[in-house]
């Protein structure tokens, strides 16, 4: 069973930065596309950014484009999400997820088809 554990969240002031990490175990890391998603209170889950299994393609949601950067390190079985220029609207629980076909689900918005999810980590941006 693939297991994902998020870390790096917390409280930051508006304009600040955070780097989220997602460490994957229990499967072959290089076989999976990985994505970051977030859910704010009272809102639907939103796709933030996704990266393909060999880092050949990435996708960013509208709110993330130009401010966030996704990357992955096979040696550490870890995917990173660098969050810059944060604002209070970025406050949410951030989840990482893995699936062999996650890039397709990321583009289509069919997040319920994604096989594996982490438990999530809160990010709070104060004004």
Quick: pLDDT tens for 56-103. 999 999 889 999 999 999 999 999 999 999 999 999 999 999 999 999
3-state secondary structure of 90: helix
**Smallest Cα–Cα separation from 47: which of 71, 16, 25, 70?**
70
Q: Sorting pLDDT into bands at 50, 70 and 90, what band is 117?
A: very high
**Smallest Cα–Cα separation from 67: which of 104, 26, 22, 36?**
36
The pLDDT tens digits for 20-32 are: 999 999 989 999 9
The mean predicted confidence, pLDDT, of the chain is: 96
- pLDDT value, residue 63: 87
Contact 121, 12 (CB under 8 A): no
- Give the chain's length: 127
Contact 123, 12 (CB under 8 A): yes
Under the phi-then-psi rule, with left for phi > 0, alpha for psi from -120 to 50, and beta for the rest, what region is 109? Answer: left
């Amino acid at each position: 069973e693939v297991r994902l554990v998020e870390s790096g969240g917390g409280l930051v002031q508006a304009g600040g930065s955070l780097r989220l990490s997602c460490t994957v175990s229990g499967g072959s890391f290089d076989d999976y596309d990985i994505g970051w998603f977030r859910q704010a209170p009272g809102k639907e889950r939103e796709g933030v950014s996704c990266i393909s299994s060999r880092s050949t393609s990435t996708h960013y949601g509208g709110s993330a484009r130009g401010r966030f950067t996704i990357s992955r390190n096979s040696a550490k079985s870890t995917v990173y999400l660098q969050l810059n220029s944060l604002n209070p609207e970025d406050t949410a629980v951030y989840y990482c997820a893995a699936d062999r076909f996650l890039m397709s689900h990321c583009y289509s918005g069919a997040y319920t088809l994604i096989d594996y999810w982490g438990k999530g980590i809160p990010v709070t941006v104060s004004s």
